[in-house]
Chain A
Amino acid sequence: MKKTTLSIAVLASLCSSAFAASGSQSYSPKAGQDYPQQVYWGDTHLHTSYSFDASMMGNKQLGPADAYRFARGEEVEAHNGMVARLDRPLDFLMVSDHSEYLGLIPMLGTGDPELLNDPVGKRWAVLLGGDTDQSLKAMFEIHHDINTNHKSLANAKVERSAWDDIIAAADRYNDPGKFTTFIGYEWTTMPGGDNLHRVVLFADDASKAGQVLPFSSFDSENPEDLWRYLQSYEDKTGGRVLAIPHNGNVSNGLMFALTDRDGNPLSRQYAETRSRWEPVAEVTQIKGDGETHPKLSPEDEFADFETWDKGNLTADALKDDSMLPYEYARSALRLGLQQEAKLGVNPFKFGMIGSTDAHTSLSSGEENNFWGKFSVYEPNPSRAGEYAYTEGRQGKVFSLRGEETAAAGYAAVWATENTRDALFDAMKRRETYATTGPRMTVRFFGGWDFDEHEVERPDYVLQGYRKGVPMGGDLTAAPADRSPRFMVSATRDPEGANLDRVQIVKGWLEADGTTEEKVYDVAWSGERTPDANGKLAPVGDTADSRNATWRNSIGAAELTSVWTDPDFDRAQRAFYYVRVLQIPTPRWPTYDEKHFHYQLEDRSTPEHIQERAYTSPIWYTPAQGTES
């Protein structure tokens, strides 16, 4: 009996290898086809009236339920009296209100007597009743509390009830298969105003997430304490949770620093813990783009995109160039290779997502449907020219103008179905990408055995999973004399602009311990040939500022490539990710000018931009003994 079983097993394995080699038909039609067939679009970072700053900056009436209604495609009345609606519904959303003073400001607004009896509560209530400057003053006082980890108004009742409301709204709107909601919040630590924020995302429902209260920066400003909290949550409830860092660009060198909060070099344990809890990073959003910076990537002519590099989050400190390497994703991925060689574990092994970080309850990442960072910046003819921070006022060391905010971004997730579990699994395996708003479809596989025309096959996706790994995956054990091949396919947003080009960004670790990066154009539209320096000419620009339109008369609807790394060295650690660029289209203030019939004076931002997507990397790690 045993023998028979064994021989059947052997036979089966022979058959399956024959199947893989020749492509002959399996008896089971769906064998090997449980891979993600669909990309789901969402936002894991959205604030509502329950966030102190959202509420103080005009979000008085739109709570979590409104946020979910808007995201699933319904009309919602905004604070400026206009009806807001998404062009197309999102597939998932997490309301992630600040855990610090969660729900407090709306409670002050209702005149909760207990809060008004507290002198601080009373002071804020009065300031909030004043003009915009006074509300800003109240907001900066709360910023100060958070910067200094000082909770000047504690009220357990408010915290519990606000968290219960948020959980209940998420569970109420979760509709598996159609629209997924996540329970979550934002841990808003910012020592001295330097941003170390993380969004915390639970895979679970109220029965588990309701057993804890959000961890706040008043509990600790140290990310390692947040990770301990996440561990204790999983231990206590058997649930699952992860954290998503964002806006390294306003961290003044802290987000991907090579020391912990006490100033010690990173340890193996730090690296293991960080990569365990933070599988993806939010690399593009309203407060600027975080892929790379022109000073970090001087050879990359597309590096200067929605750049926010004046200083820290609260405009209390200026930036200097030495901080940049520890702020941006590409650079952090390079540092990660270095740290991995040293520690044995990569602390910065993250995939990429985008999200909005809007504080309006309206998850709108599109240039022509942008509802602003705060409710006071909902569409109106003055928002692009107004100053959120003014240098020299209220201690601010630089000015920040409305036009500088970016209408971005969204998270694209390759999951097997639209449920909390499946989306969470996909984020854990980093099968995700970021876009700055448009919904282009991007597939990316790495492997050793793709043939040159693999991507032209109708079942190239199946081959991608069979012969290789998808975005977020790992390659190792390079066969002798082989270089890794990457199969990439990018399709424009069906309702958006054509594509200019597809690039593969490679970073690697040299034998001497330094890191390098290079951007390769791997597919492009039209009849362009790279020049002597390998640079491809710009695609052109059909965008018309006066009418806020563009034409798809340039660019391509889809671009594909099977690309072999021409500079591969099997002894070098490396990562590869894809960047897809659209043809130029109008930026949001251009749509504002058209809609409100005015002209933005002293404009400092471009009229047209090339929107983009960034995939999670595929890492190559030399097998033991082959590393230089």
Chain B
Amino acid sequence: MIGKLIRDPLLHFVFVGAALFGAYERVGSPEDIASENVIVVDRDALLTFIQYRSKAFQPEAAAQRLDGMTDADREALIRDFVREEALYREAEALGMSDNDYIIRRRSVQKLEFIAQSMAEQVVAADADKVRDYFGSHRQDYYEEPSYTFTHVFLKGAEAAERASQLREELNERQVAFSDAARYGERFLYHRNYVERTPDFIASHFGEAFRDRLSRLAPDAGLWQGPLESEYGAHLILLSEYRPGRVPELVEIETRVEQDYLRFEQQQRQELAIQQIVEQYHVENRL
């Protein structure tokens, strides 16, 4: 939320600021408008905040949402509110009411780093830092396990039995991946599955089939099965199974580097926002 706000120096920044300001005029009692560096967090403020943020001005729905929040959600909401309020106050302190154009320019200058993320400039990243980043975000790069197989499909009465006989024939003739198309019957989805994940396979064959497939050992020269699916019986030539894994950095270096640069920009934004927020004292009246 705050990331958005800060990256939105013109329209959004001023809009939200003005919205909050307007909200204060409507709902705030005089004592709520506290001294310049105190941010008051109370029920009214949060309800107003919720409504502006969801762009739905339904006090009852907002109250329902607030009351239904877990402690963690409420804390996150308060944190967002405080940040937004702090940034708005900062903007106002810079002279928004005098000349909103100046404030925009000043806000923009203050948040110059924004331009970098927007312009998508390619900046060379430090190799060590990229390696460190990879080390602490390895799970982001996890690749699902995958199967590569072809299948011969049979349906109707005694499909499994007929499939067992056909399996002998296929193995005897050593029918290869590319020649299998002439056997069996048409299957509604694909014939060949290349590097497909268990979820993908389950969406085509059902979950029971996926589990059965997981018990086969890959052998590019052996027709196995039949495995049953909700559609019929399948003879399988399972040529490859790749377990789930995190690739080596060298295989995905470009991607990790992009992610690292992105991460670093976000960190810098966070830091800048934190510095602004820290100038305020938060008074929680909940």
Contact = CB atoms under 8 A, between A and B. Distances in A.
Given A60-B4, A111-B105, A494-B204, A125 B120 contact: no
B182 interface: yes
A495 interface: yes
B176 interface: yes
A275 B58 CA distance: 54
Contacts of A129: 10-11, 14, 100-101, 104
B109 A135 contact: no
Interface stretch (A195-203, A287-295, A450-458): A450-458
Contacts of B11: 56, 58, 60, 128-130, 135
Interface stretch (B29-37, B38-46, B111-119): B111-119
Nearest to A597: B61
Contacts of A489: 186
B53 A458 contact: no
Interface in A596-615: 596-597
A412 B188 CA distance: 17
B118 A61 contact: yes
Given A49-B118, A381-B56, A491-B188, A30 B183 contact: no
B182 A459 contact: yes
B118 A37 contact: no
Contacts of A597: 61
Interface string A527-550: 000000000000000000000000
B16 to A, nearest CB: 12
B3 A462 contact: no
Contacts of A111: 9, 104-105, 108-109
B1 interface: yes
A557 B120 contact: no
Nearest to B204: A494
Contacts of B3: 61, 77
Given A106-B118, A111-B109, A165-B120, A458 B12 contact: no
A441 B204 CA distance: 12
A169 interface: yes
A380 B105 contact: no
B107 to A, nearest CB: 9
A126 interface: yes
Contacts of A566: none
B56 A110 contact: no
Contact of B118 (A25, A63, A495, A558): A63
Interface in B169-215: 176, 178-179, 181-192, 203-204
Contacts of A135: 11
Contacts of A77: 3-4
B153 A458 contact: yes
Interface string B1-24: 101100111111011001000000
Contacts of A125: 10, 101, 104
Given A65-B120, A106-B118, A111-B9, 12 more contacts: A65-B258, A111-B108, A125-B101, A128-B10, A130-B11, A130-B14, A165-B120, A168-B120, A381-B55, A460-B186, A491-B189, A494-B204
